[in-house]
A and B are shown apart, each in its own frame.
Chain A
Amino acid sequence: MKNILSRNIFKTIIPSLIIILFWAVSALGQTDSATADSSLSDSIAAMTGEVITSAADSTAAPVGGMFRTDRVAILVFMLIFSSAVLLYTRWARKGKELFVRKIPGIAAVEEAVGRATEMGKPVLFIPGISDVDEIETIAGLSILGRVAKITAQYDTPLSVPVRYPMVLAAGQEVVEQSYLEVGRHDSYDRDTVRYVAGEQFAFTATVNGWMVREKPAANIYMGAFFAESLLLAETGNAAGAIQIAGTARPEQLPFFIAACDYTLMGEELYAASSYLSREPLLLGGLKGQDFVKVLIILAIILGIIMTRLGYGEFYSDIFDVS
């Protein structure tokens, strides 16, 4: 049961095929005639239990069937991308050696925690200031799991201030599980992950005050950051901590680069958890991502050529999504 999903990942293509089937059915039902359109919506209304109160209701819906034909380009991309990631994951499972370039920022995480252990000072980890529905926050929590394992092994104090209660609950679960996995559950303190404030700058003021007082040896910022990025990173720099940051927001990257020792840019943040765990399955996903990146580069080059040849509009229409 534990690995039921990962063992049968190819079976998850089925939902995508169902989508295509629905699209084909709805495309067959498409005509320009209002009568057919209305009869289609009537039959769907009957299927879904909707009540159509007037003729206007049946014609108010966008032209087309159940399927959003304006999003076909996204569906095609999704299928190509999913296939590439799953294919490389499968190769990784079979033991194929996959090369992943060295990312200095990620490699420095263990070094930073080691430094904190030597100095007998705490490690500060901030999983961004967004809620748990942001994928950047989830990426931050994934890295927190790895960092917590290292701090648990070295018995280094860890502090994780958060801005949202949902992140608090998830963060506490992640840290506790990490301590449990390395057999140090007795060292786990529930208040390692703590809620400090819901306001952006109240959160920043609290964390900055803590940094100035406690002088952490290592500050790790991984997740979604906004205007507070420089306030945090500069204070950490002044407090003399080794700093590693990671965010996917281009507008915050210059601040982190200026004030931190290492910065993970964009996709590196999402790659960090796979890189740290060194699990072939996760590294396979990274390789699949790189393959799609090559396809995108080729598509851009082809677009330039097509534009020069006068087919630019036709080419951009292929990628047009509403």
Chain B
Amino acid sequence: MRSTLPVMVAFISGIVMVISFFFNPERTFLGRLQDDILQWVTIVGGFTLVLGVFSIVRVNARAVARKSEGWFFKLMTVVSVLAMALPSILPTSVNSAFGKLFYAIFPASWGSLFGTGPGSIYDTLFIYVDSPMMETMFATLAFYIASAAYRAFRARSAEALLLLLTACLVMLWRIPMGEAFLRLFSDSLPDYINMYVMNGFNLSVQRGIIIGAALGIASMSLRILLGIERTYMGKG
């Protein structure tokens, strides 16, 4: 039953989605079923958030309790999770849910600190701590690209040399100074790079990969739908 039920659910949901795709939502309820199912996916997803919070707190709290290596950082993780989550769900005024009870204990002036509005604890932490850290992580990508390019563009073979030359041309074409440099040789050179390299070789290969991937998706979806493929449940 543990494996039959998920397969049955996958089959029924999948068939409903397929049928719904071919029906007019303005004319029949069959066309609207797709949206209804997708709403249920969102609702179920919302409930699973609790699982995520439990997992992150349990794993890190256990390490803190055992005083294992790096326990202080794990403690900071738990504190960070609670610092972002708790103030955002506390009532913002007496009129909010549980507001009367909460503001019988705490001063009403604290209301602006809770919730997710401007000036709240959540908002302040998000703007001044969370966002800058995310941007820093993304900015480090430039250095990673440099080190990866250094390895990828070493001319150790004829193919690698071709890749290196193509990469140099595309990089020159992408920046205004490089484009001006290319125009010294020929006014049409940047257009040729765009036409033959980017919209020619590059696009044709990308389309080949996309068509292959689309067929892979369709094939896997069909196998899952019919219960042939159960490896996503650890079976087989």
Instruction: Please name all residues of chain B whose beta carbon is closer than 8 Å to the beta carbon of A258 when the two chains form the complex.
Output: 148-149, 151-152
Determine whether B220 belongs to the interface, using a CB cutoff of 8 Å to chain A.
yes
A312 at the A/B interface (Cβ < 8 Å)? no
- The answer, yes or no, to whether B65 is at the interface (CB within 8 Å) is no
- Chain B residues within 8 Å of A265, by CB: 209, 212
- State whether the Cβ of B108 lies closer than 8 Å to any Cβ in chain A: no
Q: B134 near A195 (CB under 8 angstroms)?
A: no
Partner of B27, one of A41, A166, A175: A41
A302 within 8 A of B: no
In the complex the two chains form, what is the Cα distance from A40 to B226 in whole Å? 35
Assuming the contacts A9-B228, A23-B22, asked whether A266 and B27 have C-beta atoms less than 8 A apart, the reply is no
Q: In the complex the two chains form, what is the Cα distance from A72 to B63 in whole Å?
A: 57
Choose among A68, A177, A194 the residue that contacts B233 (Cβ–Cβ < 8 A).
A177
For B221, the chain A residues whose CB sits under 8 A away are 135
- Taking CB atoms, residues of chain B closer than 8 Å to A205 are 133, 137
Query: Contacts of B226 on A, CB cut-off 8 Å?
Result: 5-6, 9, 12, 86
Give the secondary structure class of A's interface. Answer: helix
Contact with B23, one of A67, A199, A288 (Cβ below 8 angstroms): A67
Residues of chain A lying within 8 A (CB to CB) of residue B222: 81-82, 85-86, 285
Assess A168 versus B55: contact at CB under 8 Å? Given A270-B216, A285-B222, A293-B215.
yes
Residues of A within 8 A of B172 (CB): none
Interface size class of B (residues with CB under 8 A): 35 or more
B95 contacts the other chain (CB 8 A): no
Which residues on the A side are within 8 Å of B169 (C-beta)?
Answer: none
Q: Is there an interface contact between A191 and B70, defined as CB atoms closer than 8 Å?
A: no
The size of the chain A interface, using a CB distance under 8 A, is 107
Which A residues are in CB contact (< 8 Å) with B145?
230
Q: Which of A6, A40, A60, A288 has the most CB of B within 10 A?
A: A6
Q: Which stretch in B11-19, B112-120, B178-186 binds the other chain?
A: B11-19
Q: A138-B232, A145-B232, A258-B151 are in contact. Are A195 and B56 (CB under 8 A)?
A: yes
List residues of chain B with CB within 8 A of the CB of A68.
Answer: 21-24, 31
Closest partner residue, chain B, to A141 (CB atom) = B232
Contacts of B45 in A (CB 8 A): 131, 164-166
A204 to B26, CA, bound (A): 44
What chain B residues lie within 8 Å of A12 (beta carbons)? 15, 225-226
B192 CB–A CB distance under 8 Å = no
Residues of B contacting A: mostly: helix
Q: Is the CB of B231 within 8 A of A135?
A: no
Nearest CB of B to A152, in Å: 11
- Judge if A103 is at the interface, Cβ distance under 8 Å: no
Q: A82-B222, A231-B144 given as contacts; is B52 within 8 A of A5 (CB)?
A: no
Task: Tell me how far the C-beta of B143 lies from the nearest C-beta in chain A, rounded to whole angstroms.
Answer: 9
Q: Shortest CB–CB separation between residue B179 and chain A, in angstroms?
A: 22
Q: Are A266 and B55 touching (Cβ within 8 A)?
A: no
Query: Which partner residue on chain B sits nearest A253 by CB separation?
Result: B209
Which residue on A lies nearest to B209, using beta carbons? A266
**In the complex, A234 Cα to B140 Cα: how many Å?**
11
Q: Knowing A2-B3, A227-B138, A270-B213 are in contact, say whether A142-B231 is a contact too (CB < 8 A).
A: yes
Specify which chain B residues have a CB less than 8 angstroms from the CB of A204 in the assembled complex: 137
Interface mask (A159-194 → B, CB under 8 Å = 1, otherwise 0): 000001110111001111110110000000001001
Are B138 and A177 neighbours in the complex by a CB distance under 8 Å? no
On whether A61 and B26 interact (CB within 8 A), knowing A165-B52, A289-B216, the answer reads yes
Q: Does A279 contact B (CB under 8 A)?
A: yes
Q: Which residues of the partner chain A approach B130 to less than 8 Å between Cβ atoms? A: 199
A-B contact pairs, 15 of them (CB 8 A): A3-B227, A5-B228, A67-B23, A143-B231, A164-B45, A165-B48, A169-B48, A194-B56, A248-B217, A258-B149, A266-B210, A270-B216, A281-B228, A293-B212, A293-B215
